[in-house]
Amino acid sequence: MNLSRFLREVLLKSGTKVVCEEGDCGSCTVLVGEPDKNANTLNYKMINSCIAPVYSLDGMHIITIEGLSDAKELTEVQEKIACHGGSQCGYCTPGIVMALTALNENKVHYKNEAIKSYLTGNLCRCTGYLPIIESGLAVDAAKMKPINEIYANPQLILDLKETQAEPILLEHNPITYFAPTSLTQALKYKAAHNDVSVVSGFTDIGVEQNKKDILRTKLLSLHRIKGLKKHKQVGDFYSAGPKTTISDIETEYRKIFPDFCRYLNIFASPQIKNRATLIGNIANGSPISDTLPFLYILDAELEITSLKGKRSAKVKDVFKGYRQLDLENDEAITAVKFPKKFEHKKFFLYKISKRRDLDIATVTAAFFLSLNKNSNIILDLRVAFGGIGPMIMRFEDLEHEAKGCEFNNEFIEGIINKVLTRITPISDVRGSREFRERLVINLLKKFFIEASPI
Ligand SMILES: Cc1cc2nc3c(=O)[nH]c(=O)nc-3n(C[C@H](O)[C@H](O)[C@H](O)COP(=O)(O)OP(=O)(O)OC[C@H]3O[C@@H](n4cnc5c(N)ncnc54)[C@H](O)[C@@H]3O)c2cc1C
Ligand code: FES
Ligand code: FES
């Protein structure tokens, strides 16, 4: 059962609302707290409770709208929403209050851009966003009581830490959910059963379950395995583990790959990014995944582990068809490895979607260019597109031919023509074949303009 249903139908806490049940509207937003590794506090992040199975939240502290105050008086955020006309029918309001409260929990100032960013995943059909944003701008953070001050006593933190250190085996017909604390146990389980899905943040799987009626019955989580770190350096690589969320990437890699992190600003919403993992985004295998084109041109690698040992494969080589990964039944992805040689380098990353925020891409593109210092001669050019075929397409032979050429208008026209002869985009609700072809042309031209030395 997803948390939103559990709250509303089992605990009868109906303050948390449900509209879309697919992570798109934010009305089900709750805060989830986990013990801080270095301090005796809990770190709270907002998530969508409608696509989060209760069992995936074991050992976490859930704060719903009912838990923000003692119900005798409004919180600072609630009061400002009331005073600034930030609510009409009120159905979206609990989710919006949770999102605006999350700003304070994450120590973010109540400034215009930050408020808009935190509200990316919250839809309101009747009030209009201006009064909601004005409510946020009027919040006096000094009057907010941090959730830690209300709930986080040492005993609770200890209980959560102890719970998180234990393995979970949940068998409830027809579902088995296994979250062991050792990698060997996980791999043995994977090897012993044919139909095991490794699961991470459930943002894809939760939607699959709610909207497509697909119920995966044998689920294996790697999130309790201590050795699989979120972020580490191994030789020539930075390595992100199975628990590394898109939000973690935005924080940890901000200085290392600034263009990628800026680009992730338009990945889903904060609620989704706090749960969605990088590995889940890769393993989902969508040709319109936001992260794949960058990982393709970066020559990022996957660490793939089974009982036989570890192997590495370039992300670009691991796909063999539409959403098909070259993984054996007994294998799991245990890390994504970013080559250090590209740190601080400039990347050109583009996503075209019908709506700027919280939308699936129509076409994505990633480019990298290195020119000779004293001329426009190409030393290294990398080109990848998503949304124009069943898999991400990288044009390595064209990249090879480009070495030694001058990066000028004629060159880019040549590349455009060559790329167009190789692609057969589909027409669907997000755009016709012709539109996608036009996007390929325009994105290459945009890249040329932005990358050309002035
Ligand atoms: C509202 C909404 C908005 C979204 N917006 C975007 C967006 O803007 N851009 C975008 O690219 N995506 C978007 N997504 C898709 C989704 O959030 C991402 O694909 C996400 O990164 C998946 O990660 P997860 O941890 O939730 O994966 P899960 O849902 O847990 O799993 C996804 C897939 O990966 C497999 N898997 C997970 N972990 C492993 C592992 N360790 N080894 C092998 N296989 C594994 C699972 O079996 C499953 O097939 C959106 C989803 C929603 C619901
Ligand atoms: S109900 Fe819409 S995001 Fe959960
Ligand atoms: S107040 Fe009605 S949906 Fe937002």
Within-domain flag for 253: no
Ligand 2 lined by 21 (C-beta under 6 Å): yes
The finding on whether 402 has its CB within 6 A of some atom of ligand 1 is no
**Pocket flag, ligand 2, residue 121 (CB < 6 Å):** no
Residue 13 · residue 7 · CB < 8 Å: yes
Q: How far is the CA of 450 from the centre of ligand 1 (A)?
A: 31
Distance 22 CA to ligand 2 centre (A): 6
Paired tokens of 168: 């979970």
Element housing 398 (H / E): helix 396-402
| pLDDT of residue 91 exceeding 80 | yes
Per-residue tokens: 409: 């208008």
Q: Which CATH number goes with the domain that contains 421?
A: 3.30.390.50
**Residue 56 — pLDDT band, cuts 50, 70, 90?**
very high
* Cα(305)–Cα(307) distance, integer angstroms: 7
Q: Is 305 in the pocket of ligand 2 (CB under 6 A)?
A: no
pLDDT band at 453 (very low <50, low <70, confident <90, very high): confident
pTM, entire model = 0.97
The average pLDDT across 314-337 equals: 96
Answer whether residue 104 is part of any domain: yes
Atom of ligand 1 nearest to the CA of 197: 47
In 3D space, the residue among 223, 181, 173 whose CA is nearest the CA of residue 198 turns out to be 223
Q: Which residues of 199-237 are buried (b: 16+ CB within 10 A; e: fewer)?
A: bbbbbbbbbbbbeeeeeeebbbbbbbbeebebeeeeeeb
Best probe residue, ligand 1, of 203, 217, 294 (max atoms within 8 Å of C-beta): 203
Select from 142, 158, 174 the last residue of a domain. Answer: 158
- Flag whether pLDDT at 69 surpasses 90: no
Our count of domains for the chain comes to 2
How remote is the CA of residue 131 from the centroid of ligand 3, in Å? Answer: 11
247 lines ligand 1 (CB under 6 A): no
CB 187 within 8 A of CB 306: yes
271 occurs within a structural domain: no
Please check the confidence at residue 38 and state whether its pLDDT lies above 90. Answer: no
What angle, 0 to 180 degrees and rounded to 10, lies between the N-to-C axes of helices 129-138 and 76-83? 130
Averaged over 36-49, what is the pLDDT? 94
| Average pLDDT of the chain to the nearest whole number | 96
Residue of the CA atom closest to atom 2 of ligand 3? 89
**Residue 70 pLDDT grade (very low, low, confident, very high; cuts 50, 70, 90):** confident
Partners of residue 333 on adjacent β-strands: 304
CATH number of the domain that 33 lies in? 1.10.150.120
Distance 287 CA to ligand 1 centre (A): 13
Which among 137, 158, 179 is the end of a domain?
A: 158
Q: What percent of the chain has pLDDT over 90?
A: 94
Please choose from 92, 96, 119 the residue to mutate so as to test ligand 3's pocket, defined by most ligand atoms within 8 A of CB. 92
Q: Name every protein residue with a CB atom under 6 angstroms from any ligand 3 atom.
A: 87-93, 124-127
Helix axes 433-451, 409-422, angle to 10 degrees: 150
The one-character DSSP state at 166 is S
**Quick one: average pLDDT of 143-167?**
94
Residue 71: pLDDT above 80?
no
Q: Which numbered ligand comes closest to the C-alpha of 125?
A: 3
Indicate the pLDDT class of residue 39, thresholds 50, 70 and 90. Answer: confident
Q: How far is the CA of 346 from the centre of ligand 2 (A)?
A: 36
- Does residue 285 form part of some domain? no
| Ligand 2 closest atom vs CA 24 | 3
Q: What share of the chain is helix, strand, coil (3-state, %, to 5)?
A: 40, 25, 40
| Whether residue 242 has its Cβ less than 6 Å from ligand 1 | yes
Distances (CA, A) of 363 to 205, 258, 265, 392, 413: 23, 21, 17, 10, 19
Choosing from 158, 189, 218, the residue where a domain stops is 158
Residue 20 in contact with ligand 2 by CB distance below 6 A: yes
| CA–CA gap between residue 315 and residue 303 (Å, rounded) | 10
312 within some domain = no
Residue 422 C-alpha from the chain's centroid: 30
The pLDDT tens digits for 338-367 are: 999 999 999 999 999 999 888 999 999 999
Is residue 207 in contact with ligand 1, taking CB distance under 6 Å?
A: yes
Using an 8 Å Cβ cutoff, are 261 and 254 in contact?
yes
Decide: 210 in ligand 1 pocket, CB within 6 A: no
Mean pLDDT of all residues in 118-139? 96
Nearest ligand, measured from the Cα of 17: 2
- Residue-wise pLDDT for 223-281, tens only, equals 999 889 889 999 999 999 999 999 999 999 999 999 999 999 999 999 999 999 999 99
Q: Is 281 domain-assigned?
A: no
Give residue 133's Cα distance to chain centre: 24
Judge residue 260's burial from the number of C-beta atoms within 10 Å of its C-beta, 0-12 exposed, 13-18 middle, 19 or more buried: buried
Q: Is 48 in the pocket of ligand 2 (CB under 6 A)?
A: yes
Asked whether the predicted pLDDT for residue 376 surpasses 90, the reply is yes
**Percent with pLDDT over 70 in the chain:** 100
User: Domain span at residue 366?
Assistant: 348-451
- DSSP helix/strand/coil, 322: coil
Residue 135's pLDDT is 98
What residues are paired with 395 via a beta bridge? none
CA–centroid distance, 405 to ligand 3, in Å, is 56
Rg for the chain (alpha carbons), in Å?
A: 23
Mean pLDDT of 77-93: 97
> For the chain, what is the total number of helices (H) and then of strands (E)?
17, 18
- Ligand 2 centroid, distance to 173 Cα (angstroms): 26
Q: Quick one: pLDDT at residue 3?
A: 98
Residue 67 lies in a domain: yes
Nearest CA to ligand 1 atom 12: 289
137 lies in some domain: yes
